[in-house]
Amino acid sequence: MMELIHEYLLEPLSYDFMQRALLISLLIGIVCSVFSCFLILKGWSLMGDAVSHAILPGLAAAYVIGLPLLVGAFAAGLFCALSTGYLKNNSRVREDAVMGIVFSAMFALGLVMMTRIESDVHLLHVLFGNVLGISSSDLWQAGSIAAICSAIMLLKRRDLALYCFDPAHAAVIGVPVKVYHFGLLVLLALTVVSALKAAGIILVIAMLIAPGAIGFMVTRSFDRMLMVAVSASVFSCLGGTILSFHLDAATAPLIVVIQAILFLLALVIGKRTSHSRKGEHGSGTAATAG
């Protein structure tokens, strides 16, 4: 038994790159799962999809100008979220269509820029992440963003949950609703940026949706949903990273596969434990991942 633990869990820890990989996957596992609870409850899954795709041209532009890549990524993600809101209010097209156009156009622009520009940023790493290749400066940057975002969301979780549940009541008791709306968009962009190096912009979408969906299906109150989401996410992030070391498989995809399995498990448990709840909420949200 001890040998098994040693071989499977402790041996990976003796490598520096694995220590960094486990730490970053722990941090982004937490930040993504906390945000995913609000994302699921607000019905913003498509927004997560959009913002993460839209980051690509920001990365390329930042490289050209010589800015830190994360700054460019953050600006592009936020631009996508805000321009979607603006276009929705000032055109006859519905929000989902506007969002679809904005983010796919930005993603396409990013692809064009990436293929034209000679850079040391690998497209495949940007798309699908490279947990095992995290440098200590990556870890420091992304990790601190993830930690700060997690702390803000956990401290303000009651107000954020209220904003998702009943913005009218929030307004009536004097909560600055517009600030919260904008704040959630900023947090979304920051969360995606923090997970960029490790999970990549395609797979982060799954990490932003699955934990919240899992928590939503098996719980009846918000704090429990948060606990289940974070546990499921941390379990799959650490488990996926260690497993990928032994299997010599891509890490982020493995994490997402584990989350999908947990999601199926939650689906079965959720069906058995609550008969009165109708599943209309959770079903439409996972479909956008990809």
Partner 1 sequence: MSQAFIHLENVGVVYPNGHHALEGVTADLSPGTICGLVGVNGAGKSTLFKSIMGFITPTSGKVEITGLPVKQALKKNMVSYVPQTEEVDWNFPVLVEDVVMMGRYGYMNFLRRPSQADKKAVDEALQRVGMQDYRKRQIGELSGGQKKRVFVARALAQGGKIILLDEPFTGVDIKTEDSLIALFRILAEEGRLMLVSTHNLGSVPGFCDTVMMVNKTLLAYGPVETTFTQDNLAAAFGGMLRHHQLMGDELHDDPDARGVTVLTDDERPLVLYGEQGGQKIVRTKETAGEGIGRHD
The residues that touch partner 1, with contacts defined as CB under 8 A, are 41, 89-90, 155-156, 158-159, 161-162, 164-166, 168-169, 171-175, 177, 215-216, 219-222, 224-225, 276-278, 280-281
Q: Which is nearer to partner 1, 14 or 89 (CB)?
A: 89
Nearer to partner 1, 1 or 173 (CB): 173
CB 41, min distance to partner 1, A: 6
In whole angstroms, how close is the CB of 267 to partner 1 at the nearest point? 15
**Pick 68 or 176: Cβ nearer partner 1:** 176
CA distance 87 to 81: 10
- Residues 201 and 289: their CA atoms lie apart, in Å, by 11
Q: How far is the CB of 274 from partner 1 (least distance, A)?
A: 8
CA-based torsion, 236, 241, 242, 246: positive or negative: positive
151-168 exposure pattern, b = at least 16 Cβ within 10 A, e = fewer: ebbeeebeebbbbbeebe
CA distance from start to end of the chain: 39
Smallest gap from Cβ 195 to partner 1, in A, equals 24
**Structure tokens of 171?**
């307004």
What distance in Å separates the CA atoms of residue 3 and residue 11, rounded to the nearest whole number? 10
Residue 67 or 227: the one with the smaller Cβ distance to partner 1 is: 227
Residue closer to partner 1 (CB basis): 108 or 155:
155
Q: Residue 123 corresponds to which tokens in the numbers above?
A: 């497209």
Considering the complex, what minimum distance in angstroms separates the CB of residue 176 from partner 1?
A: 10
